[in-house]
Chain A
């Protein structure tokens, strides 16, 4: 009986990798077609991010920086949509910058999705400053002289002609920065060259792969909160009461994680059983 069970585990643990790919594809695909609606409970890091934005007052200057591209759009875009919704509801003045070339198009996508629900005027309620190459040098430029760096916005409108840019000269005129980051340059550069030197509040939404890198900054108080990957986005959507792409992907995410854990357990069990059997052979 025991031997049969062990044989089954060994067989399951050594299936062709293409079978595993197929199973993962199925467990991701099926919940997207037939959603289960699992409960989403906000974690502390997401809650702190939400509270940081929520504490801002109407008319405060809020800078959103887009540091991601199409490759990480499914993770980071839902957070940007949720945070922009939150900012517009609170009537914050939103300044958008981009450290990645594709970030500008991501920002335009987010604005196109969110703007129809609000009566916002370009140049008075929000402005898209666009992308500038230079990585950390751009953050440093924003920190010291934003108008020196951005003389025109993304559509080549002179910065002096944009009403909401009249009283903004450097990062210290901004009340809070929210970085949407998927790597370099991103949140780390905002900590090092922007918000730490200027003493400006920073919160962030990052791709899962970057969470561990940012956590020490959050523990040290340099970052107020972290929206971590797609689950973080779903939590933020829950907190603002507006379900979006993050929430719709959470069923698939949860089921896929369960299956992956199962495969890891099976893989390890197979390894130990086979090791034990080979030891007995010799």
Chain B
């Protein structure tokens, strides 16, 4: 067991118990954990995205590793690269980025669109970010339309074409699925008032929807309990002598901290 592993365990225990302390009430321990989570998540995501995509797949395509002498336009192009490399040789290593790409000047387009996004931070040129946003929205809409049309509409309609006269169990299942699908669709048809026969059919749809929400709630509870088991499992592991009883120490310190805060609050209620 290395010192860093033990230190990591103490941090994990503190953050877990700090989050749990919210169940008692909002307090500074919870706030620390919450702010750390938001900040680290954002920083972590940005770093991962940069080193997994922007550096290898964007810069790596604009300035791939080249061998031999450079001349003309290529020399000028790699001159710009060397200028960037002067600032940070980790991102722009000498001789180009070796990620298995050939030079592809078309990647200047995403590079420029990416720069436009950053210009949002500069109000005078913020409007340029709209071009990048337009591209993202257009691309996402096109890509999603195809996916939804094929997998969520056509395949789902095919999937609801079920055998009606099979074994008793299968037939009952098929009838239930067909009734549920049709009445559910009726409920979401808002061009007509939900009264009379139409209202009764859509009411059956509501029942199916409620059963579905109930199932979702059940799964949500199951998921949350699983996560709680995961945290408890770690707390039990970290309470061992190997980790210097981290769980017990941190639990004690947090309880003392909360106790002091409650005492101070009681002593001067007007300040809270």
Contact = CB atoms under 8 A, between A and B. Distances in A.
Interface in A187-215: 189, 191-193, 196-197, 207-209, 211-212
Q: How large is the interface on B (under 10, 10 to 19, 20 to 34, 35 or more residues)?
A: 35 or more
Contact-residue size bin, chain A (C-beta under 8 Å from the other chain): 35 or more
A53 B13 CA distance: 37
Contacts of B196: none
A256 B147 contact: no
Interface stretch (B1-9, B47-55, B77-85, B200-208): B47-55
A151 B56 contact: yes
Interface in A151-165: 151-152, 156, 158-160
A193 B44 CA distance: 27
Contact of B222 (A28, A156, A231): A231
A219 B227 contact: no
Interface in A203-246: 207-209, 211-212, 216-217, 219-222, 228-231, 245
Contact of B100 (A158, A209, A231, A257): A158
B227 A222 contact: no
Contact of A74 (B57, B177, B229): B229
Interface stretch (B26-34, B151-159, B186-194, B254-262): B151-159
A130 to B, nearest CB: 7
Interface stretch (B66-74, B120-128, B212-220): B212-220
A32 B49 CA distance: 38
A127 interface: no
A212 B49 CA distance: 30
A229 B223 contact: yes
B24 to A, nearest CB: 7
Contacts of B56: 151-152, 156
A237 to B, nearest CB: 14
A18 B39 CA distance: 29
B143 A222 contact: no
Given A101-B49, A132-B52, A32 B236 contact: yes
A279 to B, nearest CB: 25
Contacts of A197: 150
A152 B99 contact: yes
B230 interface: yes
4 tightest A-B contacts by CB?
A: A220-B159, A74-B230, A192-B147, A208-B223
Interface of A: 18, 21, 24-25, 28-29, 32-33, 71-75, 101, 104, 130-134, 136-137, 140, 151-152, 156, 158-160, 189, 191-193, 196-197, 207-209, 211-212, 216-217, 219-222, 228-231, 245, 248-249, 252-253, 256-257, 260
28 contacts: A29-B232, A32-B232, A32-B233, A71-B227, A72-B227, A74-B227, A101-B44, A130-B52, A132-B57, A133-B49, A133-B52, A151-B60, A152-B56, A158-B99, A158-B100, A192-B147, A192-B148, A192-B152, A196-B150, A208-B220, A209-B216, A209-B219, A222-B155, A229-B219, A229-B226, A231-B222, A253-B222, A257-B225
